[in-house]
Amino acid sequence: MKYSFEELPLQPPNSIGDPTDFLVYAIVEQEEGSTERTVWDEAKREFVKTGLVMKKPLPAPYGWIPQTFCEGDGDALDVLILTETKIPQGHYLATRPVGVLLRRDQDHKVLAVDLQDTRFGAIQNYTEVPPELLTFIEDWFRPYFELDGWLDAIATRQIIAQSHALFHLK
């Protein structure tokens, strides 16, 4: 089976070069609330359960940004998507990156918003996200990783641009 996301570019075509907004595609690897870790196996071209069961359900849909490469784990750049819509595994959507949660191991987590979402779609920077939601996300990651705080939307764009350049070098 070929998934519709396998040929996705980094950005939706109508947003490329738009200096007023920076949009990227996000591919959902795990649905919000899931507890068993699932990953995309590129060789098999399918989602595979790893057997790892997480202590708490995921706080948001979790996935990756296409055409990126993260040196921290050797995979695409990870993304959490703020949305009130249930997005199934394997689906993708246009998102606006609004921040990045830094991890000491360099496997940073981009925070993005679903553009179509009535609650989160207008957010431009992580500082506009309710603080209790940011804390909830941090608390989810804290048992597994050492965290180094948040970077804003501008720094997030730079991280994505760097990981996109690395993708083309590999």
Express each pLDDT in 43-59 by its tens digit. Answer: 898 999 999 998 899 99
Q: Please, is 125 exposed, middle or buried when counting C-beta atoms within 10 Å of its C-beta (0-12, 13-18, 19+)?
A: middle
Q: How far apart are alpha carbons 165 and 147 in whole angstroms?
A: 25
Per-residue pLDDT tens over the stretch 121-167: 999 999 999 999 999 999 999 988 899 999 999 999 999 999 999 99
Parse the chain into domains and list their residue ranges. Answer: 13-169
Does this model's pTM top 0.85? Answer: yes
Q: What is the mean pLDDT of residues 112-116?
A: 96
Task: Spell out the CATH class of 13-169.
Answer: alpha beta
